[in-house]
Each structure stands twice: as structure tokens, then as C-alpha cells.
Amino acid sequence: MEKVIEVKRLFAGFDGIEILSDVSFSASKGEVTAIIGGSGSGKTTILKHLLGLYDIQRGSVSVLGQDLSLLTEKEMNNLYLQMGVFYQDGALLNSLTVAENIALPLQQQSNLPDNLIEEIVRMKLGLVNLEEAYRLYPSQLSGGMLKRAALARAIAMDPPLLFCDEPGAGLDPVSLESLDHLIINLKNLLGMSIVIITHEVSSILRIANHIVYLDKGVVVFEGSTAEAIDSEITELNDFFSAILNNPYKTSRS
């Protein structure tokens, strides 16, 4: 399958402390790849490398077929237009309405007329079932609504690749399941590839096709979700132990 991400022998460290050690993995087009592991395992460091926020010290990182270490600033900016990011805290601007937040990337990165941008914003809000929030401010939204608004902004430019950073953090189980189904529906509707950083086991079982498990900066497992469930790797078994006794098929959509 076509790879949207390829990481090869990536090392990273700060202040003499090694964070990532010989990390290699890939993510395929059209799939949901979950990068998982305990606190301090290196998940956030990997995400920041994938987003081009950290310089590559050793190894290589390719996103949508482009080696990040070889890109000029202009080329990197063009690549950003093909990437959406869904942050755990929403990262919406409180001084702008929900509609204005979603319109912002369209206004900054396109030459579309205002009336077309308004139509796109309404369409994106419709996709996340949040039409009623058009004129509301982020402070007026519930936690679940805030997540959906942030997701609408992340897909404003119809990116082929979406990064989700702990999207379910702070949600109750019902809202979390609703968000998971929404993410999958959008993936199928828009044909996106998704990379998700999460520790929510229920979400992983519902939405992930491919799993990369990190432990202390090392990839100890890469494979399908079914293979992860059946794995005899102790660290992976411990991670999934909270719900391994639940029927696997009913845990996934």
C-alpha cells in the first residue's frame, strides 16, 4: 500500500537525554495509524517530528512522499496545506466565533471569496453535526462540541492527512465514542489518512487499523490492531489489559 508516512532509524535527544532510539515505522494511505505507549514513551516527540517542528538529528522522516529534512521553507509551507492537525485542547481562538475559527485557514491560505468561504464553513460544521454553533464562541461550547469544532477547523482545507493529538482527552465515554465514530465517518467520506496519538484504549479498538507501540523511545510493536490484541509482548498486553476481557468485535466500529 502507498505510504503517507515513513520514519526510518530516527534518533532524538535533548540536553544529552535520548528520547527516541532507532525508531522506524510507516503509515499507509487510507488507514488510521495509532501511535501509542505510556507516558514518556516518546509519542509527542514523534508527532513533533512528523509536523516538522523538530529538526531531524539522525534518521529520516517522510510525509506524503517528501523527506522533511530536504524541504525548503516554502516547500514545507506547501506541505502544511496538505496536513490537518486536531489538537487535544482544540486550540481555537477564544476571541473568534466558531465560524471565524474555521474560516481562518481558508482566509489565510486561499484566495476564495468570502461568500464561498462561508459556504465551506457551514458545510464543515454540518459534517461534524455542529451547525447550531456557527455564531457561538468557544467558551460557549461543551467539551464534546469544542472537540467537534476543532475537528471542523482541522479539515477546513480538505487535507489528505490528518494528525490527531489525544483527541478524546477529557471526554466522557459516551462523548468519546461519538467522536470516534465521527472521525471514522469523516475519514471514509473525505478519503483521509489519519495518524492518532492517544492512550484511550477503547478509541484504539474502535478506529485504528494499524498500531505502533512505543516503550521508552523504542518501537516494540508495529502491526494491525488484531495482531496487537493477540501479541505476547508484555508491555502491549499491559497496555490493553483494562479491556482485553471485553468482546473484541463489539469494541470496534
8 A C-beta contact, residue 154 and residue 85: yes
Q: What percent of the chain has a predicted confidence (pLDDT) above 70?
A: 95
Q: For residues 206 and 225, what is the distance between their CA atoms, to the nearest angstrom?
A: 10
CB count within 10 Å of CB 136 equals 15
Rounded to a whole number of angstroms, the CA Rg of the chain reads 18
Q: For residues 26 and 64, what is the distance between their CA atoms, to the nearest angstrom?
A: 11
Q: Which of 113, 116, 196 is nearest to 154 (CA)?
A: 196
Dig out the grid coordinates for 179 from the structure. Answer: 467522536
Q: Please measure the distance between the N-terminal and C-terminal CA atoms of the chain and give it in whole angstroms.
A: 22
Burial grade of 15 (CB within 10 A; 0-12, 13-18, 19 or more): exposed
User: Tens digits of per-residue pLDDT, 202-246?
Assistant: 899 999 999 999 999 999 999 999 999 888 898 888 888 755 554
Judged against a pLDDT cut of 80, whether residue 168 lies above it is answered with: yes
User: Tens digits of per-residue pLDDT, 82-128?
Assistant: 999 998 777 889 999 999 999 999 999 888 999 999 999 999 999 99
Structural domains in the chain, CATH included, are 1-82+160-177+192-253 (3.40.50.300), 92-159 (no CATH)
Question: Which of helix, strand or coil describes residue 66?
Answer: strand
pLDDT of residue 206: 92
Q: Which of 237, 192, 155 is nearest to 32 (CA)?
A: 192
